[in-house]
Amino acid sequence: METLAAFIKNPKHTFFESQENNEKILYLLRRHPVTNIGWMLTAFLMSASPLILMILSLSYELNFSASVPVKYQSVIVLVWYLITIAFALESFLNWYFNVYIVTNKRIVDIDFWGLLYKNVSEATYENIEDVTYSTGGILQTMFNFGSIMIQTAAERREFEFDGVPNPSEVYDKITDLVQEHGKKPHKKHDSNGKP
């Protein structure tokens, strides 16, 4: 199930818009799946709330629906579930399409907001000046994910690969590629979450 993975090394049959002919994707990264727990719990609570409300009203003999005609109650519940599905779908698509790409020539950060806006930023290894990664907290330590901060001399000064799995491996690869392209980055590492 490589398609839904958050950490894909040397992905096959994967391309991006501005990829050059001789450019090879080394890592395709997304936020760690653990970072999805918040919106998943919210979607679950949203989908369970009409049922919980109905059980509470029957248990305590409360009649929340007395003021709303029966034919509108179904419409209200249907609209509620449509909103819940839209929220869950947008959250999933946001996670799936926000990717960080490390190639043999550059780093690429593709950000999607909503369904209609996309921002693509890139920096070549010659422009990278500083690379830092950090992990901190129980979840990041247990599940081995963290953030990689990259400062560049390019148009976009800072890149942040937030919540990526195996940050130390990606950090090592990026710094190796920067050195390979003739520049020595300022390497920093902090396992306490502080740069």
**Could you tell me the mean pLDDT of each successive run of 10 residues in the chain, 195 residues long?**
88 91 96 97 96 79 68 88 96 95 96 87 92 94 96 85 96 94 64 52
In terms of C-beta density within 10 A (0-12 exposed, 13-18 middle, 19 or more buried), how is residue 121 classed? Answer: middle
Q: What is the pLDDT of residue 142?
A: 96
Query: How far apart are the C-alpha atoms of 80 and 38, rounded to whole Å?
Result: 19
Class of domain 2-31+98-190: mainly beta
Angle (nearest 5°) at CA 140 between 136 and 142: 120
Q: What is the pLDDT of residue 71?
A: 79
Q: What is the pLDDT of residue 183?
A: 64
Which pTM was predicted?
0.83
Q: What is the pLDDT of residue 58?
A: 73
Strand order in the sheet with 7-9: 7-9, 25-29, 99-103, 106-113, 117-124
Query: To which residue do tokens 């799946």 refer?
Result: 33
**DSSP codes, 100-121:** EEEESSEEEEEEEETTTEEEEE
CB-based contacts of 23, cutoff 8 Å, min separation 6: 103, 104, 105, 106
Contact assessment for residue 18 and residue 101, using Cβ atoms and an 8 Å cutoff: no
